[in-house]
């Protein structure tokens, strides 16, 4: 079953969100219109941890879906809460962009070249924790705003560097401004970073059929493992949790290889482990790795008793 109706595709109003949404919409193969939705995360100038972290960029789009104001919503997958939303399904997980973090520094410096005391901006507790754990003597400062705002702080000399998701910069055509793509061995990305989640109403079979053509199986498997780890840790997208999975051919067929980390925000402690399993049990791989991380003390580093 296919649809000939015009699909209303909801997006946040930021340049990056619009760019991601327009790319997805153009690939649908059906008529569409873009609908801009303002979220709580867009309205607030506070740090994500102060305004609720998980879901602040998502709930308004989901409400619009359930109220039949839009038919499809495009999210940065890492922004989604791990709990399923009643009445909504993820119809597609398109092929992932580069999941790594990226440094944009003055004078084209790399992370290791930044002098002790350099001011580095990021809005992510995960990045704060992992940067502190490197022991480079950097001053990590909170950062909000769109990509332009963040990069301008480096150009204007307010900051010596900022750390952003490489995927967003690439999607905006600004990957050439990156001075170093950070190795996941140093800084492990957020679960589902670089991936998109395209949602629709669970009852809208026509939209589900259209979205199915955009789904990328290996990406869905990888982010399923990463987010299962996050859910089992009972942590949200603002927690100091890193995870990155890849799908590769193993001795007994396709396997998912998952790395996970939890780091104390001050960088004084960290636990990092990995796990492997069949792609058919991606969520199980994530849950098992989370249990191993907790057994090694990860819950205390998140400041909670998991």
Task: State yes or no: is 79 an active-site residue.
Answer: yes
One domain for residues 74 and 207: yes
Asked whether residue 76 falls in the same domain as residue 207, the answer is yes
Neighbouring C-beta atoms of residue 43, cutoff 10 Å: 11
Question: Residue 48 — very low, low, confident or very high, per pLDDT cuts 50/70/90?
Answer: very low
Residue 50 lies in a domain: yes
244: domain range?
Answer: 222-301
- What's the average model confidence in pLDDT over 122-146? 93
Mean residue pLDDT of the chain comes to 90
* CATH number of the domain where residue 275 is located: 3.30.160.40
pLDDT beyond 70 at 122: yes
pLDDT above 80: residue 40: no
User: What DSSP character marks residue 301?
Assistant: H
Whether residue 42 is predicted with pLDDT greater than 80 in this model: the reply is: no
Same domain, 89 and 11: yes
pLDDT band at 49 (very low <50, low <70, confident <90, very high): very low
Q: For the segment 9-26, what is each residue's pLDDT rounded down to a tens digit? A: 999 888 999 999 999 999
- Residues 226 and 204 reside in one and the same domain: no
For strand 119-122 and strand 32-36, is the pairing parallel, antiparallel, or unpaired?
unpaired
Mark whether 208 and 166 lie in a shared domain.
Answer: no
C-alpha pair distances (Å), 30 with each of 73, 207, 213: 15, 10, 12
Q: What is the pLDDT of residue 46?
A: 46
Cβ-count burial 131-143 (b if 16+ within 10 Å, e if not): bbbeebebebbeb
Which of 71, 79, 101, 204 does the annotation list as catalytic?
A: 79
pLDDT at 54 over 50: no
21-27 LR contacts (CB < 8 Å, sep 24+): 21/74, 23/171, 24/72, 24/74, 24/92, 24/94, 24/196, 24/198, 24/214, 25/72, 25/74, 27/94, 27/214
Check which CATH number belongs to the domain holding 60 and give it: 3.40.190.10
- pLDDT at residue 304 in the model: 41
- 257 with 114, same domain: the answer is no
* Residue 15: inside a domain: yes
Res 303: pLDDT: 57
Of all helices (H) and strands (E), which one includes residue 51?
Answer: helix 48-51
Structural domain contains residue 2: no
1 domain-assigned: no
- Say yes or no: 106 and 89 in one domain: no
Instruction: Kindly state whether residues 211 and 75 are assigned to the same domain.
Output: yes
- Comparing 292 with 39, the larger pLDDT belongs to 292
Strands 72-76 and 88-92, by their bridges, are: unpaired
Q: Residue 234 has what pLDDT?
A: 84
Backbone φ, ψ for residue 225 (5° rounding) = -65, -45
- For residue 218, the model assigns a pLDDT of 98
pLDDT at 51 over 70: no
Residue 190 in any domain: the answer is: no
Check whether 305 has a pLDDT greater than 60: no
Number of domains in the chain: 3
| pLDDT higher than threshold 50 for residue 1 | no
pTM comes to 0.90
């Amino acid at each position: 079953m296919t649809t000939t109706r015009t699909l209303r595709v909801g997006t946040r109003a930021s340049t990056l969100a619009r760019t991601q949404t327009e790319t997805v919409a153009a690939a649908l193969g059906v008529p569409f219109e873009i609908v801009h939705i303002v979220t709580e995360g867009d309205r607030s100038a506070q740090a994500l941890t102060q305004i609720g972290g998980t879901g602040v960029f998502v709930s308004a789009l989901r409400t619009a879906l359930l109220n039949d104001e839009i038919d499809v919503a495009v999210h940065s997958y890492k922004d989604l809460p791990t709990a399923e939303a009643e009445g909504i399904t993820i119809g597609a997980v398109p092929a992932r962009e580069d999941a790594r973090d990226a440094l944009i520094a003055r004078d084209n410096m790399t992370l290791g070249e930044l002098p002790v005391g350099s001011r580095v901006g990021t809005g992510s507790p995960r990045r704060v924790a992992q940067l502190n754990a490197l022991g480079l003597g950097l001053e990590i400062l909170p950062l909000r705003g769109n990509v332009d705002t963040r990069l301008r702080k480096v150009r204007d000399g307010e900051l010596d560097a900022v750390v952003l998701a490489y995927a967003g910069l690439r999607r905006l055509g600004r990957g050439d401004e990156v001075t170093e793509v950070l190795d996941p061995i140093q800084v492990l990305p957020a679960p589902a970073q670089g991936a998109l989640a395209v949602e629709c109403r669970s009852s809208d079979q026509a939209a589900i059929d259209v979205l199915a053509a955009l789904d990328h199986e290996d990406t869905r498997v990888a982010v399923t493992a990463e987010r299962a780890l996050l859910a089992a840790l009972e942590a949200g997208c603002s927690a100091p949790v890193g995870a990155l999975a890849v799908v590769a051919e193993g001795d007994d067929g396709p396997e998912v290889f998952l790395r996970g980390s939890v780091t104390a925000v001050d960088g004084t402690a960290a636990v990092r482990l990995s796990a492997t399993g069949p792609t058919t049990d991606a969520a199980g791989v994530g849950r098992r790795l989370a249990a191993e991380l907790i057994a090694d003390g990860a819950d205390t580093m998140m400041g909670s008793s998991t």
